[in-house]
Amino acid sequence: MFLVLEGLAKIFGSNKAVDDVSLSIPEGEFFTIVGPSGSGKSTLIRILAGLETPTAGRVLLRGADITVMPANRRPTCMVFQSLALFNHMSVGDNIGFALKMLGIDAAERHRRVETLLDFVRLPQDFLGKPVTQCSGGEKQRVALARALASDPEILFFDEPLSAIDYRLRKILEVEMKDLHRRTGKTFIYITHSLEEAMVMSDRIAIMRDGAIIQIGPPEEIYARPASRFVAEFMGEVNILPVSGGEVAGQPAAGIADGWLVVRPEALRPLGGGAAADISFDARVQNDYMLGSRTQFHLMALDQTLVAELPAGLAAGVNPGDRGRWGFDLGDCISVKE
């Protein structure tokens, strides 16, 4: 296996930032670690980059133990959240920094920097431009080119898109995916946005309180969240308790006790005697137009439920309406905790 993490742990004082993380990453994978702030994902990636020494555990690259190898000797490179560009240098000197550290002469460095500029689709006249005069998106590309310069085996990304506005982020997400395809390198990416992870990743690990609680391809995480936490992390979902084989006081055949994850699109109004596995009285509070769909907030079962209806169905539903709503158990996911 290309990269193996064995029982990694990092303890700061009394805080277990990373708690016994073991996983394997094949070469060339786009692997994303998703978690809320404080989940330990940053510490984990810093251990892998060699910027932090783990309290326990090992990191193996192609079978060789690199746990205590300093960052400057690892064949890895990190794109920082702040990008950490050298503001006292030009774009060219930033990109060529790793090559300079390797002792590559100026002429060869210049040639390679030009190639890298092309690769990240920055114009050649950026070479002498001060980094401080670049726009946000340009800086992003300079940081990518700088990280790629020494031809590392693994690229780490520490939430590089989190400070960028929505529209540009969407463009850069696509570029990042494209860059991964063109380089064929292993990308290990961390973010707090599962949505961002879904777009780009081959595989996603969900991290919580220093531990990885679910790992799998995006479709699997979406279709079968392992817990309430993962389901809620994915966006707006409704969580209903299941106890004694019943949901909302109605029998739920084949559903284990725990929680039922009901997606907004699973809920529908039951007009004209229509039936559903589980049904309840609800009052429509608000509606929000989402383009082709409309979202409704319902007061029902002593909580606020979120429902989403396609335009055709939504036309007949208005705030203030009272009526029967329901969903089928087949559209729901059952989780234990």
What residues line the site for other proteins (CB under 8 A)?
49-51, 70-73, 76-78, 80, 82, 84-88, 97-98, 100-102, 146-147, 149-150
Phi-psi region for residue 170, left (φ > 0), alpha (ψ -120 to 50) or beta? alpha
Least distance (Å) between residue 263 CB and other proteins: 39
Least distance (Å) between residue 89 CB and other proteins: 9
Least distance (Å) between residue 318 CB and other proteins: 52
The stretches of the chain forming alpha helices (DSSP H) are 41-49, 91-95, 97-101, 106-119, 136-148, 166-183, 194-200, 218-223, 228-233, 311-314
Q: Which is nearer to other proteins, 102 or 256 (CB)?
A: 102
- Which residues pair with residue 309 across a beta bridge? 294
**Residue 67 contacts by C-beta under 8 Å, 6 or more apart in sequence?**
53, 54, 57, 58, 59
Least distance (Å) between residue 139 CB and other proteins: 13
Per-residue DSSP letter, 89: S
Least distance (Å) between residue 187 CB and other proteins: 16
| Distance in angstroms (rounded) separating the CA atoms of residues 177 and 106 | 31
Q: Which is nearer to other proteins, 55 or 150 (CB)?
A: 150
Least distance (Å) between residue 112 CB and other proteins: 14
- Which residues pair with residue 118 across a beta bridge? none
* Neighbour tally for 111: CB within 10 Å: 11
Closest CA to 41 of 77, 5, 65: 5
Least distance (Å) between residue 100 CB and other proteins: 8
Residue 10: its H or E element: strand 3-12
* Neighbour tally for 320: CB within 10 Å: 8
Q: Which is nearer to other proteins, 29 or 158 (CB)?
A: 158
Q: Which is nearer to other proteins, 72 or 135 (CB)?
A: 72
- Which residues pair with residue 59 across a beta bridge? 5
Q: Which is nearer to other proteins, 94 or 227 (CB)?
A: 94
Q: Which is nearer to other proteins, 40 or 96 (CB)?
A: 96
